[in-house]
Amino acid sequence: MGTPTRIILREDEIPTQWYNIQPDLPNPLQPPLHPETGEPIGPEELAPIFPMNLIEQEVSQQRWIDIPGPVLEKLATYRPTPLQRAKALEEALGTPAKIYYKNEGVSPPGSHKPNTAIAQAYYNKEFGIKRLTTETGAGQWGSALAMACSLFGLECKVFMVRISFDQKPLRKLMMQAWNADCVASPSNETEIGRRILAEKPDTPGSLGIAISEAIEDCVRSDDTRYSLGSVLNHVMLHQTVIGLEAKRQLEMVGDYPDVVIGCAGGGSNFAGLSFPFLYDKINGRQVEVVATEPTACPTLTRGPFTYDFGDTGMTTPLLPMYTLGHDFVPPPIHAGGLRYHGMAPLVSRLVRDGLVEPRALHQNDCYESAVLFARTEGFICAPETSHAIATAIHEARRAKEEGKEKTILLNWSGHGLMDLSGYEAFFRGDLVDLALPEEDLRESLKGVEDLPKPK
C-alpha cells in the first residue's frame, strides 16, 4: 500500500511548544522607531492594548515556548489537522511530484485563524482581562476570535466594516452564535464612530475606522484589550503548530518537502507552515520556501508602479515582460522594501534575507487552480488559499517537464464556502488579468528609465 491519503496524528501528538524564529534570524528584527521620539517602541507602549504576557512573546528571543495546557485543550477541538496527499490532483496533472496539503479548513470557523485566537484569548484571561475588541472585514478573523472568547468565557466585541456587515450577514450570525457582539462600523458606540456618522450617515466604513473604534473601545476600560489576527510576531508564533504538525506527519510517511508553499496576506498562515521548515533551512537543510500573493495588491513582491524587478521569470510581475519582451529586465529600484510594510515584519525580514522567495500570481490562474483542486480533491478553498494551490500546481507541472520527483507541501489555509462570489465572477468570465493601457505602462516605467539597463 502506498502513502495514505490522510496522515493523522493522535490528539496527544499536538505540538506542546511553539517555534519562535526570532533567535534564528540571520539578521535580527529591528523594532519600529517612534515617529516623535525616534526611540525604539518599547513593550510598555503597547501595554494599554495588549496584555503583558503577549507583549513578552512579541519580543521573546526564546526559541521554543511552551503551549499552556488550557490552550492545548481548546486546540484539540480541531487539532491535529490532517495532512492530506492530493493524489487525484497529482493524477490529473500527470506529475511525478507528490503534493501534500495541510488542511486548516477543518477548524470550526473554517481557517487557520483560531490557532492564535485561542492562544490570545487564553493569555488575556490569564492576565485578568474580561473582554476583547477587534475589527473585521469579511469576518474570518472576527469569527475566529468570537469562537475563542466563547471557549474561554470572555466577552468579545467585533467592529465589522459596514460594507462587509451588509454583504456578509452569515459571518455576522456566526459571531452571534459564538456570543460575540458584532456591530457595523462606524458605530454610535465610540467617539470616532459618532463623529464620522454625524458627517456621513451613509458611509460604508473602512478597516481603518473599524480598527480605530476597536482601539478606542479598548482604552476606555481597564479590563478590555485589543486583539489582532495577523502581522504581529506572537501571531506568527501561535501559528507554528501548523508546520510542526506537518513535519511530524511527513516523518510518519518518510517524506520531507522540496518546496513549502503558503499564501501571504498578513503573513500568519504562511509563517505557520513555513517557519518550522525555515528552522531546518537556516540550519543547512535544502528546502525551498515560497510565499505567494496576488499581482494586484502585492505586499512582498512589488506594486505595479514601484516594482523591484530582477528575479526569475516566475516571480517577476508579468507586466514588463509581457509588454516589452523577455529581454527587458528592469533593475531593482527599491530593494529596501518600500512595499514590505503591510506584511508581517518577520516574513519581510526572511524575504530580504533570501530565505523566502515571494511570487505573485494573477487571479484567473488562481481560480483555475482552485477549481481544478475542487474537482479532483473535493475541497473548495478560500480565495487566498488558491494562490498556494496555483503555485503548487506550477511546481508540479515543472517537475513533470523536468521528469523529476519532487515533494510539494502547501498550506490549505481555509475553505471558501462563505466566500463564493469570487468563484461566481470567475465562472462568469468577469475576472480580468493584465489590461494595462500604454499610457499607464509608460508612466509606471518612468521611475526606472534613468537606471542602468541590464545587459
Partner 1 sequence: MLEEHDERRRRCARLGHEVTFRYCRTQEGESLCTRILDCWWETFGVRAFLAEHLGEDEVRRLQEHERPDKRLSILRMLEEARRRIGDSEADP
Q: Which of residues 210-239 bind partner 1 (CB under 8 A)?
A: 211-212, 215-216, 218-220, 226, 228, 231-232
Q: Coil, helix or strand for 309?
A: coil
Of 139, 243, 257, 320, which lies in the binding site for partner 1, with binding defined by CB under 8 A? 139
What Å distances lie between residue 141 and 31, 64, 157, CA to CA?
25, 26, 12
CB-CB contact of 273 with 243 (8 Å): yes
**Residues of span 8-27 touching partner 1 by CB under 8 A:** none
In the complex, what is the shortest distance from the CB of residue 433 to partner 1, in angstroms, rounded to a whole number? 6
CB-CB contact of 149 with 109 (8 Å): no
Of 168, 172, 281, 415, which lies in the binding site for partner 1, with binding defined by CB under 8 A? 168
Cell (9 digits) for 370: 482552485
Cell (9 digits) for 333: 529600484
Kindly write down the DSSP assignment for every residue of 143-165, as one continuous string: HHHHHHHHHHT-EEEEEEEHHHH
Cell (9 digits) for 133: 475588541
Instruction: Assess 440 for contact with partner 1 (CB under 8 A).
Output: yes
Of 24, 342, 376, 397, which lies in the binding site for partner 1, with binding defined by CB under 8 A? 342
Instruction: Assess 140 for contact with partner 1 (CB under 8 A).
Output: yes
The amino acid that residue 361 corresponds to is: L
Instruction: Assess 437 for contact with partner 1 (CB under 8 A).
Output: yes
**Residues of span 77-136 touching partner 1 by CB under 8 A:** none
Cell (9 digits) for 367: 481560480
CB of 192 or CB of 259, closer to partner 1: 192
CB of 97 or CB of 209, closer to partner 1: 209
Sheet containing strand 98-103, strands side by side: 6-7, 83-85, 98-103, 407-412, 259-263, 288-294, 357-361
Of 16, 53, 176, 206, which lies in the binding site for partner 1, with binding defined by CB under 8 A? 206
In the complex, what is the shortest distance from the CB of residue 306 to partner 1, in angstroms, rounded to a whole number? 7
Whether the ω angle into residue 82 lies within 30 degrees of 0, i.e. cis, is no
Q: Name which of 136, 104, 387, 396 is nearest 272 in CA terms.
A: 104
**Pseudo-torsion of CA 165, 168, 170, 176, nearest 10°?**
-20
In the complex, what is the shortest distance from the CB of residue 381 to partner 1, in angstroms, rounded to a whole number? 14
Q: Give the H or E element holding residue 118.
A: helix 114-126
CB of 243 or CB of 298, closer to partner 1: 298
In the complex, what is the shortest distance from the CB of residue 136 to partner 1, in angstroms, rounded to a whole number? 9
**Residues of span 306-335 touching partner 1 by CB under 8 A:** 306
CB of 205 or CB of 276, closer to partner 1: 205
CB of 1 or CB of 435, closer to partner 1: 435
CB of 231 or CB of 355, closer to partner 1: 231
**Residues of span 255-314 touching partner 1 by CB under 8 A:** 265, 294-298, 303-306
Interacting span for partner 1 (CB under 8 A) from 80-88, 243-251, 269-277, 438-446 = 438-446
For 90, residues 6+ apart whose C-beta sits below 8 A from its C-beta are 97, 98, 99, 396
